[in-house]
Structure 1
Amino acid sequence: MSQNAPTDYNFRPKDCLLGAQMLFVAFGALVLVPLLTGLNANVALFTAGVGTLIFQVITRGKVPVFLASSFAFIAPIIYGVQQWGISGTMCGLFAAGLMYVIISFLIRIFGSDILHSILPPIVTGPVIMVIGLVLAPVAVHMASGRTGDGSAWLVPETTAFIIAGVSLAVTIIVSLLGKGIFKLIPILCGIAAGYFTSLILDVSGFTASTQAAFDPGSLQNWTGPALISMQKVAESPWFAIPSFTFPTWNLEAILFIVPVAIAPAIEHFGDVLAISGITGKDYVEDPGIKNTLLGDGIATSVAAFFGGPPNTTYSEVSGAVALTRSFNPAIMTWASIAAILLAFIGKLGGFLNTIPVPVMGGIMVLLFGAIAVIGINTLIKAGTDLMEPRNLAIVAIILVFGIGGMTFDLAVVKLGGIGLAGIIGVVLNLILPGKSAA
């Protein structure tokens, strides 16, 4: 590999603005996860900053990546918060981080091939598909102006479709046609466009008139004459300690969430290979995938300890590294510092809570569909023959168990959904006779 810019760690005050720019690139996706799952956005900023610093210590400051909210865990977090509350869900997420740590030690002992034998594409592909498809109803409900479970109206349907449509369209257009920095922040652009559209609808009187004529049918009606209220911003202090939530023991949450970690653990390899290709340094060898995964795992457990979403390496930031040729890993230290400082600005959290639900719904339609497509692409890239009886059985059972909501009550604990689908996939791959999994 060849390199065209310095890749050694060099912490310099003059790089602080570059670091802030990297955080800006990650910001939309970073806060999207807590906004969708009910977690605290300021806590997510704090844990992203702390998690990246932990990763840098473990990898000896060699890899220029930024760690922040993982999309792979959105579905289990939404389900977990409804079932066990935030603190119980954090127990499962803490354990997921420890699973990364265990996998990193297995790689240290047996080499990276151990992952490919236990978690081949025939398992990870459909599990990723389940993660995206399980969330499809939530996306549709929110894009149409309802709560995530569809039980109540938050915004009249006509108004919601306009806002969600603008958010979705702008996100797609920017991702396809955006140049330079804009191509790296399609989600942020979509959120901004949806928010601006909401303001226009409020100021023009469209929101109030539509709400006055709205018929909620049999559902609860929580709609209002305005989409955006700055009351939460006014009530929030300028500076405040983030609302940390610490884990409480919950075995069900652990068994439900931990299997979800198998998909992002595999994706971690791709992320490290991507940043290696960008900088011209082989990070798979030095500091080694065993150490990058260890850093990701400990960062995820620490994030869960404080009530934040699991961490993962951000491809948007890797794209920004490629665009700016900023290969110095210390720039990510500055991005981490900026994230931690922003976490203590209370009014930022208040402002993020003013974003109307359909804005996020429009983004979710694309996001959750994209997750499912990534799962399909995983199978295609591996050249998996889905008509081969063994492969057909594994994929079919994972999809039906995961999407259908199959549960097993084992007296002490209940297994179900994505977690059960992941466990079943691993077991079937190990015990079913036939050709080796693709």
Structure 2
Amino acid sequence: MENKRIIQVEEKVPFKMLVPLSIQHMFAMFGASVLVPFVFGINPAVVLFMNGIGTLLFIFITKGKAPAYLGSSFAFLAPAGIVIEKWGYDYALGGFVAVGFCGCILALIIYKFGSKWIDVVLPPAAMGPVVALIGLELAGTAASNAGLTDSSIDMKNVVVFLATLLTAVLGSVLFRKFFAVIPILIAIIVGYAAAIFCGIVDFSEVATASVFAVPNFSLPKFKWEAIVIILPVLLVIASEHIGHQIVTSKIVGRDLLKNPGLHRSLFADNFSTMISGFIGSVPTTTYGENIGVMAMTRVYSVYVIAGAAVLSIICSFIGKMTTLINTIPGPVIGGISFLLYGMIGTSGIRILVESKVDYGKSRNMAMTSVIFVTGLSGIKVQFGSIQLTGMVLACVVGMLMGLLFFLLDKAKLTNDREEV
């Protein structure tokens, strides 16, 4: 953590440094990444496996020029939750495959035409509230996981929830050096210890679990309605990916959008998501936590990232470990979710701030207002057997408004367009 010099992207790292630095990267993504399979109700083993495989694929496809760790994507939580509730997790997997495939096509389109058109379809005034809705829409789920919405609240759940949440919140502002990178993981450990103390953890499955076990792979099923519900997330994750690549470029001092190219990194990201859907895992995305690790340590080596990916794959085959992870009770997950879902909402607001959205313009005010109300009002739009609601419907509405304003600009009918 006290390195004076920068270790660049292509540099090899001595083994005595490689192991702890790789462990650090794995820890950085661990807490957030395993939370997604908890929300979906699946074993995290296959997710840890695919995070590792996806990261190695990303490094290979980008020719080792773009350091990035792929963890579980939160953008899919709300629409996938709808699909899982209606048809089951297998059909959500089909949606993940479809989004990944379309993302690969999008990468080819960007290779041919560039990426500026994304700002036309979802400008910052629309993208910000859409991203915010991903977290805000899940607020009730966090409270439910913590047991805070039950008709009779168990004080044991409250104690565990508060121990987890306070550790995460205080840790994010008080921890330093290595611990500042992993406040989520530390909060899970503290909350888990509190749950053991309160007697709400059942270790019976851990005792009977095998030391080594093959991850629980499963195959997707495809339903057109399920795909349509999940597909709008594509533009959200594409914009998120571009943002991550821009930030990483600033950190490493290279323009990664040009070399290896946005088309390569976006293709790699979505190809990993497509493979995830085929084997029963959750969608993957470049992780801000690991970007933070690079910024703090000034170690950008892809060999370190690859080492963390290999460790994640190894962990996925340790049966007792993944079973132990599954025993983490709801109040712990609820405590972490309170912070993480709020952070997703805040990241949407951050897009508005960093993009310097001018709310003196009527279009920006109208777009953000309509998207927020659409996403939070509970409105449902039915097309045959397809139902759009929440963030998905808000995203579609934002895209339609973006295209409408673009066409009105071209026709020189708007009163706030920028004259060229």
The TM-score with structure 1 as length reference comes to 0.87
In structure 2, the residue matched to 1:30 is 33
State how far apart, in whole Å, the 2-side matches of 1:398 and 1:167 are.
32
State the secondary structure of the residue aligned to 2:285.
strand
Q: Does 1:159 align with 2:161?
A: no
Shift of 1:412: 5.0
In structure 2, the residue matched to 1:193 is 190
State how far apart, in whole Å, the 1-side matches of 2:225 and 2:159 are.
40
In structure 2, the residue matched to 1:81 is 84
Q: Percent identity?
A: 35
CA gap 1:99/1:123 in 2 versus in 1, 3 angstroms:
farther
State how far apart, in whole Å, the 2-side matches of 1:308 and 1:180 are.
32
Aligned positions of 1:196-211 closer than 5 A: 196-202=193-199
Residues 102-123 of structure 1 show CA distances to partners (whole Å, capped at 9, x for unaligned) of 3222211111212222221122
Residues 406-438 of structure 1 show CA distances to partners (whole Å, capped at 9, x for unaligned) of 22222253333322221121011111333459x
CA gap 1:311/1:109 in 2 versus in 1, 3 angstroms:
same
CA gap 1:158/1:263 in 2 versus in 1, 3 angstroms:
same
Q: Does 1:183 align with 2:180?
A: yes
In structure 1, the residue matched to 2:411 is none
Aligned positions of 1:269-288 closer than 5 A: 269-288=242-261
In structure 2, the residue matched to 1:393 is 366
Residues 273-329 of structure 1 show CA distances to partners (whole Å, capped at 9, x for unaligned) of 222222222212110111111111111111121111111111222222233332221
- Any conservation in 1 of the 2:48–2:316 contact (CA below 8 Å)? yes
State how far apart, in whole Å, the 1-side matches of 2:28 and 2:353 are.
30
State how far apart, in whole Å, the 1-side matches of 2:361 and 2:20 are.
54
- Any conservation in 2 of the 1:256–1:417 contact (CA below 8 Å)? no
State the secondary structure of the residue aligned to 1:80.
helix
State the secondary structure of the residue aligned to 1:371.
helix
Q: Identify the match of residue 310 of structure 2 among 319, 324, 337.
A: 337
Q: Does 1:304 align with 2:306?
A: no
State how far apart, in whole Å, the 2-side matches of 1:396 and 1:287 are.
38
- Any conservation in 2 of the 1:252–1:415 contact (CA below 8 Å)? no
State how far apart, in whole Å, the 1-side matches of 2:350 and 2:372 are.
15
Q: Does 1:115 align with 2:144?
A: no
- AA at the equivalent of 1:80: V
Shift of 1:391: 2.7
CA gap 1:305/1:400 in 2 versus in 1, 3 angstroms:
same
Shift of 1:12: 6.8
In structure 2, the residue matched to 1:72 is 75
CA gap 1:246/1:404 in 2 versus in 1, 3 angstroms:
farther
Return 5+ residue gaps in structure 1 as ranges: 203-226
- Any conservation in 1 of the 2:147–2:330 contact (CA below 8 Å)? no
Q: Does 1:99 align with 2:110?
A: no
In structure 2, the residue matched to 1:173 is 170
In structure 1, the residue matched to 2:147 is 144
Shift of 1:11: 8.0
Further displaced range: 289-298 or 101-110? 101-110
In structure 1, the residue matched to 2:228 is 255
Two-structure CA RMSD over aligned residues (Å): 2.1
State how far apart, in whole Å, the 1-side matches of 2:230 and 2:301 are.
35
In structure 2, the residue matched to 1:326 is 299
- AA at the equivalent of 1:276: S
Further displaced range: 135-144 or 4-13? 4-13
CA gap 1:192/1:436 in 2 versus in 1, 3 angstroms:
farther
State the secondary structure of the residue aligned to 2:7.
coil
Residues 25-59 of structure 1 show CA distances to partners (whole Å, capped at 9, x for unaligned) of 21111111111221220011011011111111110
Q: Does 1:290 align with 2:263?
A: yes
State how far apart, in whole Å, the 2-side matches of 1:341 and 1:242 are.
11
Shift of 1:80: 2.3
CA gap 1:410/1:289 in 2 versus in 1, 3 angstroms:
same
In structure 2, the residue matched to 1:237 is 210
Q: Does 1:384 align with 2:386?
A: no
State how far apart, in whole Å, the 2-side matches of 1:288 and 1:41 are.
32
Residues 132-190 of structure 1 show CA distances to partners (whole Å, capped at 9, x for unaligned) of 111111112222356xxx6x87xx43221211111111101111011111111111111
State how far apart, in whole Å, the 2-side matches of 1:4 and 1:49 are.
25
Further displaced range: 34-43 or 9-18? 9-18
Aligned positions of 1:130-141 closer than 5 A: 130-141=133-144
- Any conservation in 1 of the 2:43–2:326 contact (CA below 8 Å)? no
Q: Identify the match of residue 4 of structure 1 among 3, 6, 17.
A: 6
State the secondary structure of the residue aligned to 2:76.
helix
Shift of 1:17: 4.2
- Any conservation in 1 of the 2:62–2:265 contact (CA below 8 Å)? yes
In structure 2, the residue matched to 1:207 is none
State how far apart, in whole Å, the 1-side matches of 2:178 and 2:83 are.
35
Q: Does 1:422 align with 2:395?
A: yes
Return 5+ residue gaps in structure 2 as ranges: 409-413
- Any conservation in 2 of the 1:107–1:114 contact (CA below 8 Å)? no
Shift of 1:350: 1.1
Residues 370-399 of structure 1 show CA distances to partners (whole Å, capped at 9, x for unaligned) of 211221222233233446443333223322
In structure 2, the residue matched to 1:216 is none
- AA at the equivalent of 1:6: Q
CA gap 1:12/1:179 in 2 versus in 1, 3 angstroms:
closer
